[in-house]
Amino acid sequence: MTAQPTLLAIALTVLATVAIASTADIGDRQKLMKSNGAATKPVVAMLKGEAPFDLAVVQKSLANYQDNIGQFVTLFPDDSKTGEKTSASPKIWEDMAGFKAAADKFAADAKLASASITDEASFKANMPAVLKNCGSCHEAWRVKDAQ
């Protein structure tokens, strides 16, 4: 007779752990994207000519993108489709391979730009292609009206 409540308690604990884990994943992936946003601001200011070109800042942002995105795509377990005001599109779970391919392309473009950018001219020539990934991935894999 005592076995049943114990099993129930274990089941509830497991469920509670799962719920906490998915919430943490949503928060973590949003944090990584916020960091992408913070890394992009100074770079866009340089592209617009509103801030002086600074190679170290550009290279730091490109490294930040590559570090973030590899971790980002691991934070989409099945139980993190909703909650925490996520704006992740349900399409991600329907086509995880396609989503990961978009992430890989972003990382590859950032890596290529990092090797190509040595001065302001090469920055202006190569950076826009990297930043295009932000919009194209959001367009395909993010739901706009969730935020």
35 binds ligand HEC (CB under 6 A): no
111 binds ligand HEC (CB under 6 A): no
> What is the radius of gyration, based on Cα positions, of the chain?
20
33 binds ligand HEC (CB under 6 A): yes
| Residue 49 Cβ vs ligand HEC, minimum distance, rounded to whole Å | 19
- Residues 6 or more apart whose CB falls under 8 angstroms from that of 145 comprise none
From 9-17, 50-58, 121-129, 132-140, span contacting ligand HEC (CB under 6 A): 132-140
- 40-44: long-range contacts at Cβ-Cβ below 8 A with a sequence spacing of 24 or more? 40/131, 40/134, 43/127, 43/131, 44/131
29 binds ligand HEC (CB under 6 A): yes
Q: What is the pattern of x (binds ligand HEC, CB under 6 A) and - over residues 68-107?
A: ------------------xxx-------------xx--x-
CB 12 within 8 A of CB 70: no
- Residues 6 or more apart whose CB falls under 8 angstroms from that of 54 comprise 42, 46
Nearest to 18 by CA among 79, 90, 83: 79
| Residue 22 Cβ vs ligand HEC, minimum distance, rounded to whole Å | 11
Residue ranges in contact with ligand HEC by CB under 6 A: 26, 29-30, 33-34, 36-37, 40, 65, 86-88, 102-103, 106, 131, 133-134, 137-138, 141-142
